[in-house]
Amino acid sequence: MGRKLLLEHINVPGINTLEVYRQKGGYRSVEKALKQMTPEEIVEEVKKSGLRGRGGAGFPTGMKWGFLAKPEGVARYLVCNGDESEPGTFKDRYLMTYIPHALIEGMIVGSFALGAHVSYIYLRGEMMPQIRILEKAIAEAKAAGFLGKNILGTGYDLELYVQPGGGAYICGEETALLESLEGKRGNPRIKPPFPAIAGLYGCPTVVNNVESIAAVVPIINDGGEEYAKIGVGRSTGTKLISAGGNLKKPGVYEIELGLTCEEFVYSDEYCGGIANGKTLKAVVAGGSSVPILPNNLFFKTANGEARLMSYESLSDGGFATGTMLGSGGFIAYDEDQCIVRNTWNFTRFYHHESCGQCSPCREGTGWMEKVLHRLEHGHGKMSDIDLLVDVSKKIEGNTICPLGDAAAWPVASAIRHFRDEFEWHVTHPSEATTRNFGLAHYADPLPKKEETAA
Amino acid sequence: MSDKHKVTIDGITVEVEAGTSILNAARQIGGDIVPPAMCYYSKLEGSGGKCRTCLVQVSKGSEKDPRPMPKLVASCRTTVMDGMEVKNITSPEVVEARKGVVEMLLLNHPLDCPVCDQAGECHLQDLGYEHGRAKTRYEFDRRTFEKVDLGDKIQLHMTRCILCYRCVFTADQITNTRLHGVLNRGDHSEISTYISKAIDNDFSGNVIDVCPVGALTDKTFRFKNRVWFTKPVQAHRDCDHEKCNGKVTLWYKGEEVIRVTARKDQYGEVEEFICNTCRFDKKQTSDWVIEAPTKISNKSVISSNHYDTMKPLPVVKTNPQLLEANKEQFERDTRL
């Protein structure tokens, strides 16, 4: 049984209320941080913990906090990025729905560490229930003296606001989020300057994922070194994984980083295997924007080692044979799923969500969507497959924000690993519209290279 | 060495002020190594970074930190560091990426150059010729829009737009009120007024000048003539608008002023913004003091307006019948 830090009391009735949350040891970290620690010590503790951003990129949180510029007389802000919109990821919503106080507690500690007196929680507009839950929780915290003027008599003031966004995926990109928070069109800014220098209203700002902020609570309670003991290597602590797709027990799981992929998928403690006795065909390990992997490459790395659920192990082998932990949106596909259709579906999402600011992403995502639509519906040509690879290369790395990369990677990786299936869609157009390609050789042990079954 | 930075672009070293962008450093060198720019406009603050045609490779970050930058960077928004080494046309990666960007830009562009007023002075046309492919690989319907009149002087043909945001920045920075902006997102995004308003202020005409393509055109000039048949001259008038100093380019066809624009430099950027009175209402030679012919680069198609062909051809001069038929034209030309 892995250690639970964030979801330890998730099943306690009434944990969403301040009263029960306090009984279970909530807001200890606020008392400890505000009364016994200096802001520098908190940042140092977070650095020691090795906590890495849980939103996708995996940038060390402590380092990010350390980069924050601290000019005299200029306000600083902590902004919580709750714009979770990646297909396959729903961990933050879960956390905010059931333990809203964990986030608020983390926000207070984080704001104190960064010297922010006004902090924002930016949520996607569709999360209206969560917005109400958080606002209620903030009111409770305020009544109990954890927010507002002179918190716990320490002289520290903090106002916390919840800001609903308009419901755009792009507003999860930190600079687009800041633009949106300022009331403008959610277009990503051109960097530099980075938000740590000039963010919200031109002031130094830190933008963190919901889970990263909540993870500060156990770090302060138990100490950074204690937190760093969990996990492997540079992947420390626990991570929420939102498992979905053809699994027996889909849901949000808190895992210790370093758990083997095999255990995560098949053990009864976690996903419990593939639903309906089918075989696993492919896995998207970290939300729709990370490269998709076939069964065999997911459980074993290219050099035959068992793959672990950690930042390093999942990206082992680079993009040729690896993927990324991303935001933890785990999607499993069984043998009945069509990879071409899935790729088209993802691309349709990115086409819809591209902000339209820079040309490769604006035009390229639409192009890929149209070509994939044609392939999926049996009108494709063999040359389309190489065209897709070429277009994805032209988008990747040439855009202002990572949405271009996120749109290009799933397409490039699907073709890299499932080229047979794409070709089958071209050679058997009428069959492709009535049945799926099936499992083929994607679950075979790695060294064996077999002919396509269909 | 605090305020001067040495930067090497494609092997040519230049010393520039700190804070200069790579693109502007390249423009100080000039020639082929200047990256093309579709959205960057030196007169407009905050422009650039969107079209991605100016991507360059930074092979050495600076003297202090010689690591190369991992990705291609937009040269218009990246400032130079001391000792920076930049590869533009010497990097195959850049050439390839730029080709891709041009292809993307042309993806939804209608390529209706034969009927487009911008043809001949269109930046996208130049870019397509220099860096593009001969054929597109795009086999789907292009995005189309209805033409919209933004007031009685400006027409918006959104189909041609490449969403460079220049006109938005112009309206923000040159005029007092911005009445148009970008609606929607992705490849549905469009420049629009909210909702079908007219753009009406003294400097609104400048959006026509900053538009790199034929999306915003001058309704007083639409379909009047091809630019390469017109003859540009520099002129000025005593404009009573406080922000306009009346320095313009007049575009003549015969002795008629058919268009007035701001003066543009070699990168197609206006030198000074002009007011709408100068642009739209003063179309008599008598309104202006003419200075000199405008210098047109010999690479531009506008320079192919052979001034002498406006005179009757030799055959006309000798044939009495043709002489009679072209009498009016002949008289006008000889008067000139």
Instruction: Report the domain count for chain B.
Output: 4
Q: Which two tokens stand for residue B26?
A: 């390249």
Mark whether B213 and B231 lie in a shared domain: no
Q: How many residues does chain A have?
A: 454
DSSP SS3 for B192 = strand
Residue A409: the pLDDT is: 95
- Asked if B138's CB is within 8 angstroms of A190's CB, the reply is no
Distance set, CA B26 to CA A402, B91, B146, B202, B221 (Å) = 27, 15, 39, 34, 34
Q: Is B187 within 8 Å of A168 when comparing Cβ atoms?
A: no
Mark yes or no for CB contact A394/B104 under 8 Å.
yes
Task: Characterize the bridge pairing of strands B12-17 and A292-294.
Answer: unpaired
Longest dimension (CA), chain A: 73
Question: Mean pLDDT in chain A?
Answer: 92
**CA–CA gap between residue B305 and residue B228 (Å, rounded):** 5
The answer on pLDDT for B335 being more than 70 is no
Which of A279, A281, A250 is closest to A264 using CA atoms? A250
Side chain identity at A42, as an amino acid letter?
A: I
Claim to verify: residue B85 and residue B9 sit in the same structural domain: yes
> How far is the C-alpha of B6 from the C-alpha of A354, rounded, in Å?
38
Q: How many CB pairs under 8 A join A and B?
A: 89
Number of neighbouring beta carbons within 10 Å of residue A383: 11
Same domain, B213 and B266: no
Which residue, among A197, A353, A362, would best test binding to B if mutated, counting the most B CBs under 10 Å from its CB? A362
The verdict on B269 and B332 lying in the same domain is no
Residue of B nearest to A354 (CA): B186
Which residues of chain A neighbour B110 with C-beta distances below 8 Å?
Answer: none
Q: Which residues of B touch A359 (CB under 8 A)?
A: 50-52, 101, 104-105, 162-163
Contact A359 B182 (CB under 8 A): no
Same domain, B327 and B290: no
Q: What is the pLDDT of residues A361-414, one digit of tens each?
A: 999 999 999 999 999 999 999 999 999 999 999 999 899 999 999 999 999 999
Report the gap between the CA of A357 and the closest CA in chain B (Å). 6
Alpha helices in A190-328 (DSSP H): 210-222, 224-229, 261-266, 295-299, 311-314, 318-321
Say if residue B17 is in the same domain as residue B75.
Answer: yes
Beta-carbon separation of B71 and A190 below 8 A: no
Residue A140 DSSP code: H
How many C-beta atoms surround the C-beta of residue B190 within 10 A?
Answer: 19
Structural domain includes residue B119 = no
Confidence of residue B31 (pLDDT cuts 50, 70, 90): confident
> Which chain B residue has the Cα nearest residue A359?
B51
Least confident of A17-26, B244-253, B300-309: B300-309
- Best CA proximity match to B211, nearest among B76, B41, B23: B41
Partners of A357 on chain B (C-beta within 8 Å) are 50, 163, 165
- Topology of the domain covering A232-334: Ubiquitin-like (UB roll) (3.10.20)
Q: How far is residue A448's CA from residue A378's CA, in Å, rounded to a whole number?
A: 30
Amino acid at A27: Y
Asked whether residue B328 is assigned to any structural domain, the reply reads yes
Tokens 């969507």 identify what position? A369
Q: CA-CA distance, A40 to A48, in Å (whole number)? A: 12
Give the closest of B105, B182, B188 to A359, CB-based. B105
Of B104, B165, B185, Cβ closest to residue A360: B104
Is B44 domain-assigned? yes
Say whether both B9 and B82 belong to one domain: yes
B161 with B209, same domain: the answer is: yes
Mean pLDDT value of segment A26-47:
94
Look at strands B73-74 and B55-60 and give their pairing: antiparallel
* CA–CA distance, B75 with B330 (Å, rounded to integer): 52
The closest of A158, A209, A163, A205 to A186, measured between CA atoms, is A163
Under 8 Å CB-to-CB from A332, ≥6 apart: which residues? A243, A244, A245, A246, A247, A265, A271, A274, A280, A282, A283
Asked if B105 lies within 8 A of A363 by C-beta distance, the reply is yes
Task: State the CB neighbour count (10 A cutoff) for residue B2.
Answer: 6
User: Quick one: B90 and B157 in the same domain?
Assistant: no
Does B45 reside within a domain? yes
pLDDT at residue B2, as a whole number: 60
Confidence at B266, pLDDT banded by 50, 70, 90: confident
Q: How many CB atoms lie within 10 A of CB A417?
A: 20
Whether B128 is in a domain gets the answer no
Dist. CA B167–CA B47, nearest whole Å = 10
End-to-end CA distance of chain A: 42
| Contact (Cβ atoms closer than 8 angstroms) between residue A232 and residue A258 | yes
Domain's final residue, options B101, B128, B160: B101
Q: Are A6 and A102 in contact (CB under 8 A)?
A: yes
Classify domain A18-229 at the CATH superfamily level: NADH-ubiquinone oxidoreductase 51kDa subunit (3.40.50.11540)
Q: What is the mean pLDDT of chain B?
A: 88
- For residue B22, being part of any structural domain is answered with yes
- Listed in order, the ranges of chain A carrying CATH 3.10.20.600 are 232-334
Per the DSSP assignment, residues forming a β-bridge with B295 are: none
The predicted structure's pLDDT at residue B177: 83
Greater confidence, A197 or B134?
A197
For A36, residues 6+ apart whose C-beta sits below 8 A from its C-beta are none
3-state secondary structure of A298: helix
Q: What is the mean pLDDT of residues A191-203?
A: 91
CA distance A86 to A137: 26
pLDDT of residue A452: 46
Binary contact (A363, B108; C-beta < 8 A): yes
Q: Would you give the DSSP letter of residue B285? A: G
B46-96 pLDDT per residue, tens:
899 999 999 999 999 888 889 999 999 999 999 999 999 999 999 999 999
Q: Which two tokens stand for residue A32?
A: 């400890």
Pairwise CB contact (< 8 Å): A360 & B138:
no
Q: What is the CATH number of the domain that holds B64?
A: 3.10.20.740
Is the bond into B70 cis (omega within 30 degrees of 0)?
Answer: no
- pLDDT range class, residue B193, cuts 50, 70, 90: confident
Put simply, whether B97 touches A (Cβ < 8 Å) is yes
Burial label, A242 (beta-carbon count in 10 A; 0-12, 13-18, 19+): buried
In a domain, B284, yes or no: yes
**pLDDT (average), residues B226-243:** 90
Residue A191: per-residue pLDDT: 85
Chain centroid to CA A45: how far?
23
In a shared domain, residues B72 and B10: yes
Torsion sign over Cα A329, A330, A334, A339: positive
Residue B195 lies in a domain: yes
Neighbouring residues of A77: CB distance < 8 A, sequence distance ≥ 6: A116, A118, A119, A120, A199, A200, A201, A203, A204, A205, A206
Q: Across chain B, which distance is largest between two alpha carbons, in Å?
A: 79
Query: Where in chain A do CATH 3.40.50.11540 domains reside?
Result: 18-229
Q: Where in chain A is the domain with CATH 1.20.1440.230?
A: 339-434
Domain of B54, in residue numbers: 4-101
Given CATH 3.40.50.720, say whether it is the number of domain A339-434. no
Which residue reads 């100490």 in tokens? A223
User: Which residue in the set B48, B52, B187 is minimally distant from A398, CB to CB?
Assistant: B52
Share of chain A above pLDDT 90, in %: 85
